[in-house]
Structure 1
Amino acid sequence: MELQQLRLFLAAAESESFTRGAERAFVSQPALSASVSKLEAEMGVKLFTRNKRNVVLTPAGRMLLKRAEVIVDECSRAKDELRRHDELRVLRLGVINTLSIHYVTRLVEQYRRENPGLVLNVTDANSLNIEKLEREERIDLALTILPHPPLSSRKFVYDKELFSEAYVVAMSQDHHLSQSPSLSINDLIKEPFISRSHCEHRRVIQELLKSRNVRLNSIYVTDQDDRALALVKAGIGIAIVPEHCRSAEIRTCPLVESKQKRSIGFMWGQSENKDEIKRFVDFASAIRWD
């Protein structure tokens, strides 16, 4: 039994015709017929019942069909793996820029250490630019907020949540509000406020302020979390940040009026790089994100 015999057998079985099977396998009809006859002679069984219109698998043929599909598929996989053995492995990752660099660093460093043959290209972006990178097919997957805003041109069709978190008020450890178990919008009105212009939660806070007809005392606007957190640590002002931004130098308190949480995880679509994507998603899913 040869691999080519199995391929021709599958072509005939799936087409239910020696003629259509030959066209599908790019061989002549007599060549396919001869191959099947030789295979039947070697096995000592009839694989097809032949008639004028088509061919039908016998019980023995149906038994061989299951095995042949597995054998041919595994041979194709082996061939592809060997062909790609010396090819450069590349994975392009987009990361939402409101995810702590501590998390990103830990993930990237560990994965690169365990996959020395992989080139892992990482691009930071806000939610809108993540969408742009996806549309332009410049990333394979995104580590971002779930669910992603729906897009008419959306190509991301899979997702995997890693963790969820609330938005909290951040302040220095010696801030006069730091011992409060929780805070309300009214507690923040007179406090110097560090505005994170790129924050996905900003619109929710703005609507909350508008509904109460109040404003925050914004003294610094930045699109960089490291600057915002440095200002908070120095006691320059307070900020509203994702819960994972807490540290030994920052005190965080829940905001009573804001119950919204965000989910962080991966989104990706159909891709020829699906094996690399799966390996990376599985690896990241095994890490503790708390």
Structure 2
Amino acid sequence: MDRTGMELRHLRYFVAVAETLSFTEAARRLAISQPPLSQQIRDLELEIGTTLIARSSRNVSLTPAGAAFLTRARQILAEAVRARDEARVIGAGRSGTLDIGMTGAVLLGGLGGLVAAFQIFAPGVQVRLHEMPPGEQEAALGAGRLDLCFLRTPGADPALRVEPAWHEGVSAVLPRDHPLAVRRRLALADLRDEPFVFFRRADSRFADHLWTCCIEAGFAPRIVQEVVEAHAVMALVADGFGIALLPDSARRLAPSGLGFRPLAGNPARADVSLVYPREHSAVVGEFIGFARTRLGRGAGSGGPGS
């Protein structure tokens, strides 16, 4: 055997003989015949330059060098198994980090449960959530600071894939003592004379979508305050600044004095999309596949931009 030719199989053969103290039993364990096993042990001893296993007509025993080598051989084989398993886990997307961009409102809509389930599915992946305005999310995605994000009304970027995550409606949000609160459902046109607290249009295509829906209903909303997050919108509505249009999931954090009224005909939507680079890591791919299954989407599904 070449002096650089020691291989893991030589260590496995040696450990089998050392643990059974029988070439016959070791050959049976390894599912090979005895002569090749004996030859491999001799080659290993030639490579090392000393006798590891003492053989006699009656028994097989380890030399002092063999006993010391057994400890090291077991450690090397165990490390090899760990290295193999770690590579498999990483290659399968079950280890590493995953940076996800989102807004607080999207987190309320189901992202929290999805991430929690993924952490159980792939405990070796560290998931880091980054709350930021939608425009900043897309910029961070393009710059590689995020691995994927969940957005309402994402932009068109040929480097990104966009596919539906979940559907969500929009409700009118108003104080419970507001005259319109007596109705179970409202049309957008019913809100034409109301002051609005709005998402800041400079940061949100979703805000532009809501604006367009109002225009199509025959009026331009009279915006008195613009903010970034849903909880700020609700706080201002509760303080009497006006009414608002919010995703249905925001009701989970609504103060007791607010009422959510569905919009008749579903003229506005708050559907959420999963957005990620076309070229992505195994971890991202694993999360995408898990999300599709968890959210009931087929592997071939794709929304705009897919």
TM above 0.5, one fold?
yes
Counterparts of 1:235 and 1:173 in 2: how far apart (Å)? Answer: 11
Counterparts of 1:195 and 1:158 in 2: how far apart (Å)? Answer: 25
Aligned partner of residue 181 in structure 2, secondary structure: coil
Q: Tell me if the contact between 2:189 and 2:218 (Cα under 8 Å) persists in the aligned partners.
A: no
Change (3 A) 1:229 1:212: closer
Which structure 1 segments of 5+ residues have no match?
A: 1-77
- Identify the residue that residue 238 of structure 1 maps to in structure 2: 243
Deviation at 1:209, TM superposition (A): 5.1
Given candidates 269, 273, 278, the residue that maps to 2:277 is 269
Counterparts of 1:199 and 1:252 in 2: how far apart (Å)? Answer: 21
TM-score, normalization by structure 1:
0.56
- Identify the residue that residue 194 of structure 1 maps to in structure 2: 197
Counterparts of 1:274 and 1:264 in 2: how far apart (Å)? Answer: 23
Q: Tell me if the contact between 2:230 and 2:250 (Cα under 8 Å) persists in the aligned partners.
A: no
Instruction: Write the letter of the residue equivalent to 2:190.
Output: D
- Mapping of 1:39-54 within 5 angstroms? none
Counterparts of 1:190 and 1:137 in 2: how far apart (Å)? Answer: 44
Cα deviation digits, residues 259-288 of structure 1 (max 9, x gap): 242431323234452245324651574269
Counterparts of 2:123 and 2:190 in 1: how far apart (Å)? Answer: 51
Instruction: Write the letter of the residue equivalent to 2:97.
Output: V
- Mapping of 1:22-61 within 5 angstroms? none
- Identify the residue that residue 185 of structure 2 maps to in structure 1: 182
Aligned partner of residue 165 in structure 1, secondary structure: coil
Counterparts of 2:243 and 2:213 in 1: how far apart (Å)? Answer: 17
- Identify the residue that residue 157 of structure 1 maps to in structure 2: 161
Which structure 2 segments of 5+ residues have no match?
A: 1-81, 297-306
Q: Tell me if the contact between 1:97 and 1:126 (Cα under 8 Å) persists in the aligned partners.
A: no
Q: Are 1:278 and 2:281 an aligned pair?
A: no
Aligned partner of residue 180 in structure 2, secondary structure: coil
Q: Are 1:140 and 2:143 an aligned pair?
A: no
Q: Tell me if the contact between 1:98 and 1:225 (Cα under 8 Å) persists in the aligned partners.
A: yes
Deviation at 1:242, TM superposition (A): 1.4
Deviation at 1:114, TM superposition (A): 5.6
- Identify the residue that residue 124 of structure 1 maps to in structure 2: 131
Counterparts of 1:90 and 1:205 in 2: how far apart (Å)? Answer: 35
Deviation at 1:257, TM superposition (A): 7.5
Deviation at 1:93, TM superposition (A): 1.3
- Identify the residue that residue 47 of structure 2 maps to in structure 1: none
Change (3 A) 1:98 1:281: farther
Deviation at 1:167, TM superposition (A): 2.1
Change (3 A) 1:242 1:102: closer
Work out which of the two has the higher radius of gyration on C-alpha atoms and give 1 or 2.
2
Deviation at 1:224, TM superposition (A): 1.9
- Identify the residue that residue 94 of structure 1 maps to in structure 2: 101
Instruction: Write the letter of the residue equivalent to 2:211.
Output: Q
Counterparts of 2:239 and 2:87 in 1: how far apart (Å)? Answer: 56
Change (3 A) 1:215 1:108: same
| Superposed CA RMSD | 3.7
Q: Tell me if the contact between 1:91 and 1:277 (Cα under 8 Å) persists in the aligned partners.
A: no
Counterparts of 1:266 and 1:221 in 2: how far apart (Å)? Answer: 26
Aligned partner of residue 177 in structure 1, secondary structure: helix
- Identify the residue that residue 253 of structure 1 maps to in structure 2: 261
TM-score, normalization by structure 2:
0.54
How many residues in Structure 1 have an aligned counterpart in Structure 2? 207
Deviation at 1:90, TM superposition (A): 0.9
- Identify the residue that residue 20 of structure 2 maps to in structure 1: none
Q: Tell me if the contact between 1:168 and 1:240 (Cα under 8 Å) persists in the aligned partners.
A: yes
Change (3 A) 1:119 1:254: same
Deviation at 1:122, TM superposition (A): 1.9
Aligned partner of residue 106 in structure 2, secondary structure: coil
Q: Tell me if the contact between 1:192 and 1:217 (Cα under 8 Å) persists in the aligned partners.
A: yes
Q: Tell me if the contact between 2:118 and 2:290 (Cα under 8 Å) persists in the aligned partners.
A: no
Q: Tell me if the contact between 1:93 and 1:140 (Cα under 8 Å) persists in the aligned partners.
A: yes
Deviation at 1:185, TM superposition (A): 4.1
Instruction: Write the letter of the residue equivalent to 1:225.
Output: A
Percentage of matched positions with identical amino acids: 16
Q: Tell me if the contact between 2:99 and 2:148 (Cα under 8 Å) persists in the aligned partners.
A: yes
Q: Tell me if the contact between 1:92 and 1:140 (Cα under 8 Å) persists in the aligned partners.
A: yes
Change (3 A) 1:232 1:140: same
